[in-house]
Structure 1
Amino acid sequence: MSKHRSSVRNAIKENLMLVLTITAVIVGISLGLALRSVNLSPLALQLINFPGEIFMQVLKMMVLPLIFTSVISSLGQMDSGNAGKMGLMTVAYYATTAVISSAVGIFFVTMMQPGASIAHSPVKNSLTTGDVEPIDTFLDLLRNMFPDNIFKATFQRVSTIYEHNGTEITKHVVDGPGTNILGVLVFCTFFGLVAAKLGERVRIVIDLFIALDEIIMGWIMTLMWFAPIGIISLISGNLLEVEDLAGTFSTLAMYVLTVLLGLFTHILIVTPSLYFLLTRKSPLPVYKVMLQPFMIAFGTASSGAALPTSIACLEEHGIDSRIANFVPPLGNTINVDGNALYEAAAVIFIAQLNNIHLTFANVITISLTATLASMGSGSVPAGLVTMVLILNTVGLPVKDLALIVTVDWLVDRIRTAINVMGDGFATCIIAHNVDIDLKEEDGYKSIAVMPNTEEV
């Protein structure tokens, strides 16, 4: 009963936050449009943008603590003794679908070019330093994934620079300013996996990160109540700086269409195709079973609010209770297919707005960063922290997030519902492949049943 009341309170808070966010968007748009007819001074524009600037800075401040606590605590809580193969397959499946979903988002935003019609700056060649070759950018990506010093990775990242000495070009791999997000994520991932394997011997460490994660998330949730102020500032300030307002809204409509096409392609084509390949079963029953939690997730924009219903529906479908109680809760944290797709598409959309040409290596960086960052902090409201993280990683301007915020509240409901539907498919796939192995590994069911059978 207490859990039910808690979920109800959380749902009310989520809806209230949604109302405040929508109100802030409306106020920000109205204020921005109303002030466009006024010839504001540069100082006035600076003051209007200032609350949004502070809000974004605080979000940036929370990135590293969130990654360390959420990734290590979520992976460290995996019971390797009971989960075993199930845990590894679940993480591998979610990682695979997240990579695929980000690739789908990149494909649609690249093909449809929703941000190409308006531009804030002259065309740039790439995000790399100088004339860095794609292979060097890719090698830098791998170097950053495995930093030689985890503390240095929090404020420096590796990059290849070119020195031109007459006709000779010399390459140097140097440490430059900027947070090495990929290195931090890889370190936290292995830390959490090893902690899970050691289990009770390091329980005090896992409990510490769980407690820290609750503190950080509590801080972020408190911060999100101030988000409407930041949103009003960001949207109104951005509208005041946009020259072609009609083109901007037209582009946003095209952007939403692009993201929705990617999301529905993923859940209606990619996910059921994977399900059929791995189980040789029709995906239609899964859609039917997960319809109720899908609608709850769409109505509340919260995968957590739909979690109890997801577990109950899957158990009624005949899924082993141990699997039904393991995969969806884990997926609630690391299944971020919708987020990975949305964030990868949004980053490239922002690059298009600024006429920045992305190399193939840049796109790979965006895809991997969107996937890893989303899995590490999938529970952050509106995905603002991870969006800031990805933009900083590839060197794109954070300011244009204000445009994304204007439509995020709508897209968020759809991508959350798709994440919940994806949890249902993942649970059924894992159940099909590890149900028997799980029972044999745990042993308690077969040991309890077999002696009774012999006595009879």
Structure 2
Amino acid sequence: MAKRLTTYILIALVAGLVLGWALNASIDDGGGAGSAQLTQIAGYFSIVTSLFLRLIKMIIAPLVFSTLVVGIAHMGDSSALGRVGLRSLGWFLGASLVSLTLGLLLVNLLQPGVGLGLPLPPVAADAGLTKAAFNLKDFIAHLVPASGIEAMATNEILQIVVFSVFVGVALTAVGEKGAPLVRALEGLVAVMLQITDYVMRVAPLAVFAAVAGTLAERGPGVIGDLAYFMGSFYLGLAVLWAVLLGVAFLIIGPRVGTLIRYLRDPILLGFSTASSEAAYPRTLEALDRFGVPPRIASFVLPLGYSFNLDGSMMYMTFASIFVAQAYGIDLSWPQMITMLLVLMVTSKGIAGVPRASLVVIAGTMGMFDIPEAGLLLILAVDHFLDMGRTATNVIGNAVAATVIAKWEGGFDRPEPAEIEPLPTPSGHLRTDVPDSFRDVGGPPPPVI
């Protein structure tokens, strides 16, 4: 199933590129009725993408809650939970610092904003983004949900994590009395993973619609205008991938190559939809097949989506300095290091906000007298940049979970990257539900 889904997504990606480009070339008239028609066509395509993303949002909260509570209950004691939490946060802070620093160094080395040659927006122009300043009081208060149900209804991942930790620790404390609830939640995990399988069957169609709509509306020309900036950023992402996977190689050894094979489906899904949420269920399953214990993966992944968005972190320093370069603003190294530290803090309080990277950047630029209007330069290509940073976020969180699992005693028995169909008690074939989350008969999976 995983291999077929990857193939279908690739086909849909290419088909969307071809159709979007063809529509733009045949209808675009440089700003007249043709442009309005293309916007309307893109709106029709967005219906499919929006429905798919809503389906993903529908399963995220119950999936995160059930897997996390079951994982904590299986840890056995609160000391193990505290140890995993501290190690995870330590890794997240280190990875965030590396990502921000790489973005800062590469944008100064490559200088994509110098001599840009594009007309600059007026300094007073509004980029249309809600600027959010970091507020420690509000951030800490926002960590704890006023209601667990409200947190799930609004898909506040960090609040769901906090609520799940309380439930999981309480179930561990009550012991045998809580066993029926743990078994019920294990059943819920299996149900949610089966629903994930249903939802993922329409992923290629969503990918096709997202790519075709975006390219039809904006055309290849907008990419050409900022090709050097985009190329520089993607080069930075490639360097970040090399660093993350290199560190992972030092910790877990040659199995890093196998990990990439397991992750190719969620990476491609995250890249083509530019949605970390869309890739979350598949990433969880891929890590389970690789051998990361579910109690580790189900804790580290949702926490990582709030604290460990490596691709987004790199983009924050990269885009901020790019705009400064475009306006000819010369920032000293002490100023840029201060900006890095500010972004390190402010980015942690904005998780879950649409276009979070741009919102954080807009709220930080004013501290260094960089015109917010400069973001108008990159808004047109932000979707294409978001694709790359989303795929990087998937890699960063998967590597984090894998490394934490290694530090916590190693891996479970892995499953083949391509799962063969296994019969369920009802006789139906299920191809992609991890063995650790299901109750089916048959021999254990082979060791890779």
Shift in Å at residue 353 of structure 1? Answer: 0.8
* Structure 1 unaligned regions, length at least 5: 1-14, 36-73, 122-178, 196-203, 218-234, 237-245, 437-456
> How far apart in 2 are the matches of 1:86 and 1:381?
29
Counterpart residue number, 2:337: 364
Counterpart residue number, 1:406: 380
Shift in Å at residue 271 of structure 1? Answer: 0.1
* Aligned CA distance change for structure 1 residues 180 and 311 (closer, same or farther; 3 Å): closer
> How far apart in 2 are the matches of 1:216 and 1:304?
10
Counterpart residue number, 1:109: 107
2:362 equivalent to 1:388: yes
Counterpart residue number, 1:311: 284
* Structure 2 unaligned regions, length at least 5: 1-12, 33-64, 121-130, 159-216, 411-448
TM alignment of 1:121-160, pairs within 5 A? none
User: Please, which of 334, 337, 348 is the counterpart of residue 310 of structure 2?
Assistant: 337
Counterpart residue number, 1:87: 85
Q: Is the 8 A contact 2:223 2:381 kept in 1?
A: no
Counterpart residue number, 2:325: 352
Counterpart residue number, 2:95: 97
Q: Is the 8 A contact 2:266 2:283 kept in 1?
A: yes
> How far apart in 1 are the matches of 2:319 and 2:368?
13
> How far apart in 1 are the matches of 2:116 and 2:268?
36
* Aligned CA distance change for structure 1 residues 391 and 329 (closer, same or farther; 3 Å): same
Residue range with higher mean Cα deviation, 274-283 or 331-340: 274-283
Relative to the length of structure 1, the TM-score reads 0.53
Q: Is the 8 A contact 1:296 1:306 kept in 2?
A: yes
Shift in Å at residue 188 of structure 1? Answer: 5.6
Counterpart residue number, 1:298: 271
> How far apart in 2 are the matches of 1:279 and 1:93?
15
Q: Is the 8 A contact 2:157 2:352 kept in 1?
A: no
Counterpart residue number, 2:391: 417
> How far apart in 1 are the matches of 2:273 and 2:31?
32
Shift in Å at residue 416 of structure 1? Answer: 0.3
Provide, for residues 280-339 of structure 1, a one-character-per-residue CA deviation record: whole Å limited to 9, x for no partner.
Answer: 454212211211111111122111111111111111112111112111122222221101
* Aligned CA distance change for structure 1 residues 206 and 359 (closer, same or farther; 3 Å): farther
Counterpart of 2:363 in structure 1: which amino acid? L
Shift in Å at residue 373 of structure 1? Answer: 3.0
Shift in Å at residue 211 of structure 1? Answer: 7.8
Shift in Å at residue 86 of structure 1? Answer: 0.8
Counterpart residue number, 2:261: 288
> How far apart in 2 are the matches of 1:334 and 1:255?
26
> Which protein shows a greater Rg?
1
SS of residue matched to 1:306: helix
Q: Is the 8 A contact 2:113 2:325 kept in 1?
A: yes
SS of residue matched to 1:400: helix
* Identical counterparts, % of pairs: 27
Counterpart residue number, 2:202: none
RMSD over equivalenced CA pairs, Å = 4.2
> How far apart in 1 are the matches of 2:223 and 2:114?
13
Q: Is the 8 A contact 1:116 1:352 kept in 2?
A: yes
2:234 equivalent to 1:260: yes
SS of residue matched to 1:380: coil
Relative to the length of structure 2, the TM-score reads 0.54
Provide, for residues 149-182 of structure 1, a one-character-per-residue CA deviation record: whole Å limited to 9, x for no partner.
Answer: xxxxxxxxxxxxxxxxxxxxxxxxxxxxxx9945
TM alignment of 1:218-257, pairs within 5 A? 252-257=226-231
Q: Is the 8 A contact 2:157 2:302 kept in 1?
A: no
* Aligned CA distance change for structure 1 residues 296 and 362 (closer, same or farther; 3 Å): same
Work out the number of aligned pairs and report it: 283
Counterpart of 1:342 in structure 2: which amino acid? Y
* Aligned CA distance change for structure 1 residues 208 and 385 (closer, same or farther; 3 Å): farther
Shift in Å at residue 347 of structure 1? Answer: 0.5
Q: Is the 8 A contact 2:309 2:397 kept in 1?
A: no
Counterpart residue number, 2:212: none
Counterpart residue number, 2:435: none
> How far apart in 1 are the matches of 2:370 and 2:107?
16
Shift in Å at residue 216 of structure 1? Answer: 13
* Aligned CA distance change for structure 1 residues 285 and 307 (closer, same or farther; 3 Å): same
